[in-house]
Amino acid sequence: MEVIERVSALRAIVTALRCSGKRIGFVPTMGALHEGHLQLLRASARENDITICSVFVNPTQFNNASDYKLYPRTLEQDISLLQTVGCDYLFAPSAEEVYPQQSVLQFSFGALEAVMEGEHRPGHFNGVAIVVSKLFHIVQPHKAYFGQKDLQQVAIVRQLVQTLSFDLELVCYHTVREADGLAMSSRNKRLTATQRQHATQLYKALQMAAADLKHKAIPDIKAEVAAYLGQVDELQLEYFEIVDAYTLQPVTDVQAQEEVAICIAAFVGEVRLIDNMIVNLNEI
């Protein structure tokens, strides 16, 4: 695997690969890689001739300076892991390389960013859209791989790809969890042992809500989850929403839906975690 830091170097490689007819799979990440990332990389290696991974902690998508500063950075370990999953190129640029001048570009995603992560992290999806657009232009992938763990991000990127006519296929893979159900996340590394135990309650809350969907009203489910999580030490619920799995708009009547997503965001100590579960109402 080759590690590339410069945009110009990667552009030259991509041009040569495309000229020789190779199909490129791309997995954008912020590093501190875990099994959730590795499943995307393995899928890309299976489905394409060449796999490119990016590791870039993107400053423009952080609306909290300390979250950016404390985000885990483990590049040496990431390189070792990438070598085990068939990755051909790692793009690991500096912030100056990606942003030679400050970006003032503004995206708007309408209703999609008015809820959940968009509502609670102002500017977050603008930063995501800027970096994803830049990376798509540089890497020119045939397929790009994302995780359901960041469900709203997938919806935003889908809208971005459609609106700007990026010529690529988006692929979304399910959320990889720890044995006790906690969704894998680079931020889990920042939890203390006790916080790590408390964090499992997020998945429990999703399961509880899913089990209640058919026979309880949504306000009652939300109240029950808030009360349940309210008892957990060091856990501060930010939002809990039951939304249409495609539009991500809150639903009022579950019976009228085919598929809903149950979405949660909470602070465990200082660490902000998100998770979600998609429920097909015909299957429960």
List contacts with ligand AMP (CB under 6 A).
29-30, 36-37, 40, 146-147, 149-150, 173, 175-176, 183-186
SS3 content of the chain, % helix, strand, coil (to 5): 45, 20, 35
Q: How far lies 89's CA from each of 11, 28, 66, in Å?
A: 12, 12, 30
Contact 224, 205 (CB under 8 A): no
Residue where the block lists tokens 């590394």: 189
Count CB-CB contacts under 10 A for residue 277: 20
- Least gap, CB of 36 to ligand AMP (angstroms): 2
- Least gap, CB of 255 to ligand AMP (angstroms): 30
Edge-to-edge order in the sheet of strand 259-268: 235-244, 259-268, 271-280
Which residue lies nearer to ligand AMP by CB, 173 or 267? 173
Residue where the block lists tokens 């410069």: 6
How many Å apart are CA 268 and CA 205, to the nearest integer? 14
Name the catalytic one among 37, 124, 137, 174. Answer: 37
Show the CA angle centred on residue 130, arms to residues 125 and 132, nearest 5°: 90
Phi-psi region of 129 (alpha: psi -120 to 50; beta: other; left: phi over 0): alpha
Which residue lies nearer to ligand AMP by CB, 28 or 195? 28
Q: Identify whether 174 is a catalytic site residue.
A: no
How many Å apart are CA 144 and CA 132, to the nearest integer? 10
- Least gap, CB of 43 to ligand AMP (angstroms): 11
- Least gap, CB of 145 to ligand AMP (angstroms): 7
Which residue lies nearer to ligand AMP by CB, 145 or 240? 145
- Residue nearest to ligand AMP according to CB distances in the complex: 147
Tokens standing for residue 279: 């429920």
Which residue lies nearer to ligand AMP by CB, 131 or 242? 131
Which residue lies nearer to ligand AMP by CB, 49 or 178? 178
Residue where the block lists tokens 């830049």: 134
Residues marked active site are found at 37
